[in-house]
Structure 1
């Protein structure tokens, strides 16, 4: 089951970003999923599902954005 969340964005912001409303929606889903994963609120699988992309692609994007995929410290290893 999916839920819909509505976010109002000023038209000037959409124009600055030069993105369609659909593209902004996809971007926001991805960025929210990345942040929730980074904060430990979602697993990588759940975050990938939220973003609407395969888990492997999500993990690649984590690397692109400098988000560690493991919370294990060097000392714990």
Structure 2
């Protein structure tokens, strides 16, 4: 696992847990991490992470629209 050190300005209202959740939800949304990997990064269970995704405007259904359209055509 990679270790990254970030310097976040004191003027931001973000603590370590919030920063981890922001990064994890973004990487999950982009398809770079699975739900389990993102939950681990955020230090949460998969269930808790999935429940919190909506608070970050991230859908738990990480399925590309193009794939969905192809599935509908093939059905």
TM range (shorter): 0.7 to 0.9
Gaps of 5+ in 2: none
Distance 1:10 1:64, change over 3 A: closer
Residue 27 of structure 1: SS of its match in structure 2? helix
Gaps of 5+ in 1: none
Counterpart position of 1:8: 7
For 2:57 and 2:9, the matched residues in 1 are separated by 29
Please give the residue correspondences for 1:61-76 in structure 2 after superposition, counting only pairs within 5 Å: 61-70=52-61, 71=63, 73=65, 75=69, 76=71
Q: Greater RCO between the two (CA within 8 Å, min separation 6)?
A: 2
CA RMSD of aligned residues (A): 2.2
1:27 corresponds to which of 18, 24, 29 = 18
TM-score by length of 2: 0.72
Aligned residues: 68
For 2:4 and 2:64, the matched residues in 1 are separated by 33
TM-score by length of 1: 0.71
